[in-house]
Amino acid sequence: MGGKVSRHCSKCGENTIIPGDIGLRTSKDMELIMVVRKYHGIEKKVPLFPQVCGKCGFVDFYVEDYDTLKVNPEDRPIDPTFRRPPLQEFDF
């Protein structure tokens, strides 16, 4: 599991994060907004959660389990024919 989520606002520093189940969803398909990492043809998804400050109204986002974004040797590309493009001069 990931690290402990801070209960302090990232903007004003107060300990006034609104408690409770606050979610973040898209309006069309009602699915959770996800952080998607695409790396070497492997796609990893983790739900994104908001924190809302009760004092200044600042909204901050976090993932509960960021370890699932790490690519493991057991992970396979979503496209079996994926080939990394060759390095170009502008890559450096």
pLDDT in tens, 48-74: 888 999 999 999 988 888 888 888 888
For residue 89, being part of any structural domain is answered with no
For residue 33, being part of any structural domain is answered with yes
For residue 41, being part of any structural domain is answered with yes
34, with CB counted inside 10 A (0-12, 13-18, 19+), is middle
What total number of domains does the chain contain? 1
For residue 88, being part of any structural domain is answered with no
Q: What pLDDT is attached to residue 56?
A: 94
What is the per-residue pLDDT across 12-34, written as a single tens digit (0 to 9) for each? 998 989 887 787 777 776 677 77
Q: What pLDDT is attached to residue 53?
A: 93
Give how far Cα 55 sits from Cα of 14, 21, 58, Å. 8, 18, 8
* Domain boundaries, position 47: 1-71
Question: DSSP labels for 20-37?
Answer: S----B-TTT-PBPEEEE
**Hey, which residues does 59 pair with through a beta bridge?**
52
